[in-house]
Amino acid sequence: MLARRRFLKGAALAGAASGVAGAAGFPRPALAQGTKRLRMQMTWPRNFPGLGTGANFLAETIHSLSDGALEIEIFGAGEIVPAFETIDAVESGTLDMGHAAPYYWKGKVPATEFIAGVPFGLTASEATAWMQFGGGQELADEAYAQMNCKFFLSGCTGTQMAGWYSREMNSIDDYRGLRMRLPGLGGEVIAAAGAAVINLPAGEIGPAMASGTLDAADWISPYNDLAIGMHRSGWLYYYPGWQEPGPIMDNFINLDVWNSFTNSEKAMFETANAAANAHVYSEFLANNNAALAEMLNEHDVQMRRLTDDTLVHLAELSRDVLDNLANADPLSRRVYDSILRFRAEALPWANVAESAVMQARALDYQFSQPSGG
C-alpha cells in the first residue's frame, strides 16, 4: 500500500520529477482562444511509474479528444498545496481536479477507504465491474459529492504483494511483535495480530530494512519495488497481497467545474478515465511481469507464499476490522454492503473461470516455445 507520509519526502523517487515551481498563477478554468485550462494536482510526484504516468495518459487523452480545447495542467504532490490537501483544494476551487487514491480522504469521508478496496476483496477487473454494473459509481459519486467533487475510477494497480520479510512467516503467531511497514487497512489487520506497525515514507524503507529497525516492509509490487531497490535487502518476498487484491485510484473534479461542462466534455472525462483505468492496469501488469522476471533471474529473489492457515487468520481479522469500521459510519456500511453483495457472486464465478484457468495454465507440461529460442 502507498502511504500518505511518503509523499512528503518521496518526490525524489520519481524518475523525472519536475522542477516547476511558480506555476500557481494560472487562471482556473481559464478561457484562452477557446481553450479551457484545468489544473490537476496529484498525490504523487510527476511521472511516478504507473500512477503519474496514468495521470499523463488521462490528460493527453482528454487533450486529443477535445482537439486541444481541454488542457489539463498536471502538478506533482506539493506543487500547489501539500499532497494530502489536494482534495480540499479541489473542494474549494483552488484546483479543478485531483489524481490520487480514495483512502487518502478517509479523514473527511470514511467510506472512501472502502471504495479504495478492502482486504480479501475484489480484483481489478471485479472492482471495475462493481463500479459500472454493481452500484459502485453511484455510491462513490455520493461519497465524493460530500467533498464537492465528481468521482472517476482512474486506474487499477492490480494485486499487490504481501511484502518483504527478514524471516520465514509460518503462522499467524509470527506477526506477534513483527515490526512492519504496512499502512492502511492491512496495517490495522496485522496490528490486531500483534504486529508493531511502523509507517515510513518510501525513501526511509531501505535504510530501515538495512538497520534492523524493520523486520518486514510492504511497498507496492515488483515494478515499483524494483525501482526503489527493495530486492537488495536479501529478504524473502511474500505473496499473495491479501490486503490489496485490486486497489484503485481516483480522479476527482470540482462539482461546479463538472457541472459547467457540456455533455460532450463530460463524455470525454468519462471515456478518458475508463481508458486510463485500463491503461494503468495494463502498464502495471506488463511491467510487473518484466520486473518479477528480472528479480528472479538476475537478483535471485526468494519467493514465499503465506500459508493457508495464516491467510485464514488474516481473513478473519480483516472481517473484524472492516465490520467495526462499517458499523461506525452509515455510508461506509452501505458501500461495504454493496461490495459484499458483489463479492458473494464474484467469488464463485472467479473460482470456475479466471482463477481456475490460471491454475490450469500453471500445471506442469511442455508448452510451445517462441521460434527465436
* Residue-wise DSSP of 124-162: HHHHHHHHHHSSHHHHHHHHHHTTTEEEEEEEE------
Binding flag, residue 328, its own copies (CB under 8 A) = no
For residues 126 and 188, which CB has a smaller minimum distance to its own copies in the complex? Answer: 126
At its nearest, how many Å lie between its own copies and the CB of residue 297?
Answer: 10
**Of 18, 35, 125, 213, which lies in the binding site for its own copies, with binding defined by CB under 8 A?**
125
For residues 33 and 371, which CB has a smaller minimum distance to its own copies in the complex? Answer: 371
For residues 92 and 327, which CB has a smaller minimum distance to its own copies in the complex? Answer: 327
Binding flag, residue 203, its own copies (CB under 8 A) = no
**Of 102, 187, 245, 247, which lies in the binding site for its own copies, with binding defined by CB under 8 A?**
245
What are the start-end ranges of the H helices in the chain? 6-9, 52-65, 86-92, 112-115, 124-133, 136-145, 184-192, 202-211, 222-227, 255-260, 263-298, 308-327, 330-352, 354-361
Binding segment for its own copies among 35-43, 45-53, 187-195, 276-284 (CB under 8 A)?
A: 276-284
**Of 267, 299, 302, 328, which lies in the binding site for its own copies, with binding defined by CB under 8 A?**
267
Distance of CA 327 to the CA centre of its chain: 24
118 contacts: CB under 8 Å, gap ≥ 6: 185, 318, 322, 336, 339
Number of other CB atoms surrounding residue 232 within 10 Å: 13
At its nearest, how many Å lie between its own copies and the CB of residue 290?
Answer: 6
Binding flag, residue 337, its own copies (CB under 8 A) = yes
At its nearest, how many Å lie between its own copies and the CB of residue 161?
Answer: 7
Binding flag, residue 242, its own copies (CB under 8 A) = yes
For residues 76 and 117, which CB has a smaller minimum distance to its own copies in the complex? Answer: 117
Binding flag, residue 323, its own copies (CB under 8 A) = yes
Whether residue 104 contacts residue 44, with contact meaning beta carbons closer than 8 Å, is answered with no
Rg (CA), the chain: 21
For residues 96 and 126, which CB has a smaller minimum distance to its own copies in the complex? Answer: 126
For residues 84 and 336, which CB has a smaller minimum distance to its own copies in the complex? Answer: 336
Residue ranges in 60-119 that form contacts with its own copies under rule CB under 8 A: 61, 64-67
Torsion of CA 50, 3, 217, 355, to 10 degrees: -50
As a whole number of angstroms, the distance between CA 112 and CA 92 comes to: 19
Whether residue 19 contacts residue 53, with contact meaning beta carbons closer than 8 Å, is answered with no
Binding flag, residue 23, its own copies (CB under 8 A) = no
As a whole number of angstroms, the distance between CA 168 and CA 154 comes to: 36
Binding flag, residue 306, its own copies (CB under 8 A) = yes
Whether residue 104 contacts residue 252, with contact meaning beta carbons closer than 8 Å, is answered with no
For residues 88 and 329, which CB has a smaller minimum distance to its own copies in the complex? Answer: 329
